[in-house]
Amino acid sequence: MSAMIEVDDLTKFYGRTLALDRASFTVEEGRIVGFLGPNGAGKSTTLRILTGFMPPTSGQARVAGHDVLTEGLAVRRSIGYMPENVPLYPEMRVQEYLAFRAGLKEVPSGKRAAAVDRVVERCWLTDVRRRLVGQLSKGFRQRVGLAEALIADPPVLILDEPTIGLDPAQIQTVRELVRSLGEKHTVLLSSHILPEVEKTCSHLVIIAQGRIAAAGSVADLTEGLAASQRIVVEVHPGEGGEGPAEVARALGQVSGVDRVSHESAGGGWLRLAVQPAGDADPREGLYAMVTQRGWRLREMRREAPSLEELYVRITAGEAAAAGRPAA
Amino acid sequence: MQKVLLLTRREIASYFVSPIAYVAMALFLLATGVFFGWMDFRPGQPAAMQGSFNIMMIVLVFFLPLLTMRALAEEQRSGTIETLLTAPVTDVQVVTAKFLGSWMFFLVMLAPTLLYVVVLAAFGQPDVGPIASGYIGLVLLGAAYVAIGILASSLTRNQIIAAVISFVALLLLAWPVPYVAQVVPPPWRTIIQRATMLSHYIDFTQGVVDVVHVIYFVVLTVYALFLTVKVLESRRWR
């Protein structure tokens, strides 16, 4: 069973500017995948290529088994798409607009009214269904966009920044809605806000500067990060005791320690960051060393870089992906 | 086909909620009404609408671009073109619906001029032939103007620019440039006359429905719409 969305070596040039650089990832059926990246990373470009709105310069993409370039119509029948900034026709009423889109998406005319009712309820639009789209607040507009994407009950949903510009309460309602979709639909949603994506999605694809930097389940990515944890120790060597470099060297000699860096924590205290070698856990050894030397110890803690730090590192250009990630 | 009807219905409905459409319609009827009263509805004139039909060709050069300017330009500006083109509809369906929507609104705009026929009948014995053929010509002429306007609208996201492009194109193809043919030596004279709309429209106003002229307008309309489809398609390979 092939993946619902397959992106293979996708490249896109806007004139001379490289927007996508051989991006590859897949989205398996039934998953909610977050497409994460800073502004300008290539998220919207990728989504527009997937929906057939623009062609790639090279590479391939398939949605629900159909090639986006050669089977465009079939792809469009399988997707519900919500572009960034949710463009709508201001002169239409909400339910008019939804019925119109249902017709375009080949919902049989007898079933359109029921489909409109269904999405209106699902997206909490009941109170505004007869209002003109042009009179809606941003929160409602976003929900109309979501309702429109759902109207034909497509197997794949592609949402470009669905919570942008919303206040926290609205973000929460959209988040709940998206989470409830996971069972029957495959969702690919893009965002540049990590906490949002973390709370809604089970899998992530991180893109920066047109390249896929990381992909995998949130659990896997976090676990992978746990391996590169470090131990932070706050030590006071006492009046006239060893200097910081000495303390660092001493701790460095504990078995299982790779590197030690130090900084002053004020009042004679030193904060040292200990990098363990491989899987080693040198905490006991460190404690023993500290007490043996007669230093005072006031804190020892383990720090695993968070997903947020990984994201920041990636967007600062450091991390790189290996092979062809699957989400 | 069903989708074309759906799209067309939306187009027409959105015309009826736009103030510009009503303004254009009012001004058009005002201008034609004035000329009807001044040229055709005078004592001693034949009970026909020849003057009106001739004037309408010119008036429409100014007004139809105002109606068609937003057809695709507005969608491109607001971004709704993205939801339109990512729905399972073909570019041909989209362009056809845009054309039909504008053209039908044009027909609605034209309908009140039938009052002039009623007025003529009340005060004289109008010759139905030339009037009927005149309307046929006008309907075909309008189709060509609208198609050119839609093509112009597809080229930009700015409605004003779309209106200007359309206006200039009509100046060249409909009026007044075709008059230039009279002062230009052959073979240019024939080329300009055959290629532009004036010579093909004139016969209709004089009671002649020549298949050649019908074909001219149909081909011109279809060609402009074909080019519009290509403009939309080009988005998919740019």
pLDDT of residue B3: 94
Name which of A55, A91, A101 is nearest B87 (Cβ-Cβ): A101
In chain A, residues with a C-beta closer than 8 Å to the C-beta of B2 are 103
The angle at the Cα of B18, spanning B15 to B20, to the nearest 5 degrees, equals 105
pLDDT of residue B136: 94
DSSP state of B27: H
A52 to chain B: which residues are within 8 Å by CB? 85-86, 236
Question: Of A158, A143, A296, A308, which Cα lies nearest the Cα of A221?
Answer: A308
* Nearest-CA distance B82 → chain A (Å): 7
Query: In this complex, which of B6, B14, B238 lies closest to A89 when CB atoms are compared?
Result: B14
Taking residues B120-126, report their average pLDDT. Answer: 85
Q: Rounded mean pLDDT of B156-177?
A: 93
**A chain contacts of residue B86, beta-carbon cutoff 8 Å:** 51-53, 76, 79, 81, 83
Q: What's the CA gap between A101 and B72, in Å, rounded?
A: 18
Q: Sign of dihedral through CA atoms A274, A279, A283, A289?
A: negative
DSSP symbol at A306 = P
Which pair of structure tokens corresponds to residue B37?
């009263």
Please give the distance of CA A2 from its chain centroid, rounded to a whole number.
Answer: 22
pLDDT in the model for residue B64: 94
pLDDT of residue B227: 97
CA distances from A40 to A28, A124, A305 (A): 25, 32, 25
Q: Count of A–B CB contacts within 8 Å? A: 64
The residue among A110, A107, A145, A108 whose CA lies nearest residue A125 is A145
Distance (Å, whole) CA B205 – CA B194? 17
What region does B6 belong to: left with phi over 0, alpha with psi -120 to 50, or beta?
alpha
Find the helix or strand (DSSP H, E) in which A324 lies.
none
Q: What pLDDT tens digit does each residue of chain A (327 aa) get?
A: 568 999 999 999 998 999 999 999 999 999 999 999 988 889 999 999 999 999 999 999 999 999 999 999 999 999 999 999 899 999 999 999 999 999 999 999 999 999 999 999 989 899 999 999 999 998 899 999 999 999 999 999 999 999 888 888 888 888 888 888 877 899 999 998 888 888 889 999 999 889 998 898 888 887 777 666 788 888 888 877 778 888 888 888 887 777 788 887 788 888 888 888 777 788 888 888 888 888 889 999 888 777 887 788 777 764 444 333 445
Identify the pLDDT of residue A220.
83
Tell how strand A211-217 and strand A203-208 pair up.
Answer: antiparallel
Average pLDDT, chain B: 91
Q: Which two tokens stand for residue B137?
A: 């010509």
Pairwise CB contact (< 8 Å): B83 & A87: yes
Mind giving me the DSSP string for B146-200? HHHHHHHHHT-S-HHHHHHHHHHHHHHHTSSGGGGGGGS-TTHHHHHHHHSHHHH
Provide the 3-class DSSP secondary structure of residue A302: strand
Average pLDDT over every residue of B133-149: 96
CA distances from A59 to A21, A55, A69, A206 (A): 10, 10, 10, 19
Is the C-alpha dihedral spanning A185, A189, A193, A194 positive or negative?
positive
- Cα dihedral A246, A247, A253, A259, rounded to 10, equals -100
Q: What are the DSSP calls for A242-263, one per residue?
A: --HHHHHHHHHTSTTEEEEEEE
- What mean pLDDT do residues B78-90 have? 94
Candidate from B6, B80, B236 with C-beta closest to A89: B80
For residue B115, the Cα-to-chain-centroid distance in whole angstroms is 20
Q: Hey, of B86, B90, B92, B237, which one would you mutate to test binding to chain A, going by the most A CBs within 10 A of its CB?
A: B86
B155 Cα to chain A: minimum distance (Å):
17
Neighbours of A35 (CB within 10 A): 31
Query: What pLDDT is recorded for position A100?
Result: 97
Interchain CB contact of A193 with B (< 8 Å): no
pLDDT tens-digit readout, B10-43:
999 999 998 888 888 999 999 999 998 888 887 7
CA-CA-CA-CA torsion sign (A118, A124, A126, A128)? negative
Write down the pLDDT at residue A317.
Answer: 63
Q: Are A302 and A229 in contact (CB under 8 A)?
A: yes
CA A186 to chain centroid, in Å, comes to 15
Cα–Cα distance measured from residue A104 to residue A274, given in angstroms and rounded to the nearest whole number: 61
pLDDT computed for residue A226 by the predictor: 67
Question: Beta A79-82 vs A257-266: how paired, if at all?
Answer: unpaired
State pTM to two decimals: 0.85
Taking the CB of residue B64, how many other CB atoms lie within 10 A of it?
29
Tokens of A20: 């996508």
Nearest CA of chain B to the CA of A104: how many Å? 6
8 Å CB contact of B88 and A83? no
pLDDT of residue A319: 42
For the record, the structure tokens of B150 come out as 């839609």
- Residues facing A205 on adjacent strands: A35, A215
Contact criterion met (CB < 8 Å) for B3 and A105 = no
Q: What pLDDT is stored for residue A173 in this prediction?
A: 86
User: Do residue A100 and residue B6 have CB atoms under 8 angstroms apart?
Assistant: yes
Cβ contact B2–A81 (<8 Å):
no
Residues whose CB is less than 8 angstroms from the CB of residue B30 and which lie 6 or more positions away in sequence, other chains included? none
Q: At what angle do helices A244-252 and A283-293 cross, to 10 degrees?
A: 130
SS3 of residue A63 by DSSP: strand
Contact A25, A215 (CB under 8 A): yes
The reported pLDDT for the residue numbered B237 is: 64
Residues B89, A104 contacting (CB under 8 angstroms): yes
Inter-residue long-range contacts of B132-135, CB under 8 Å, 24+ positions, other chains counted: B133/B204, B133/B205, B133/B206, B133/B207, B133/B208, B133/B209, B134/B48, B134/B49, B134/B50, B134/B53, B134/B204, B134/B205, B134/B207, B135/B110
Chain A closest-CA separation from residue B88 CA (Å): 5
Query: Could you tell me what percent of chain B has a pLDDT over 90?
Result: 63
Q: For A170-217, what is each residue's pLDDT tens digit?
A: 888 888 888 888 778 999 999 988 888 888 899 999 998 899 988 988
The shortest C-alpha distance from A77 to chain B (Å) reads: 6
Q: Per the CB < 8 Å rule, is A54 touching B6?
A: no
What is the per-residue burial (b if ≥16 Cβ within 10 Å, else e) of A207-221?
A: bbbbbbbbbbbbeeb
Beta-strand pair A186-191/A156-160: parallel
Q: Which of A78, A84, A57 is nearest to A69 (CA)?
A: A57
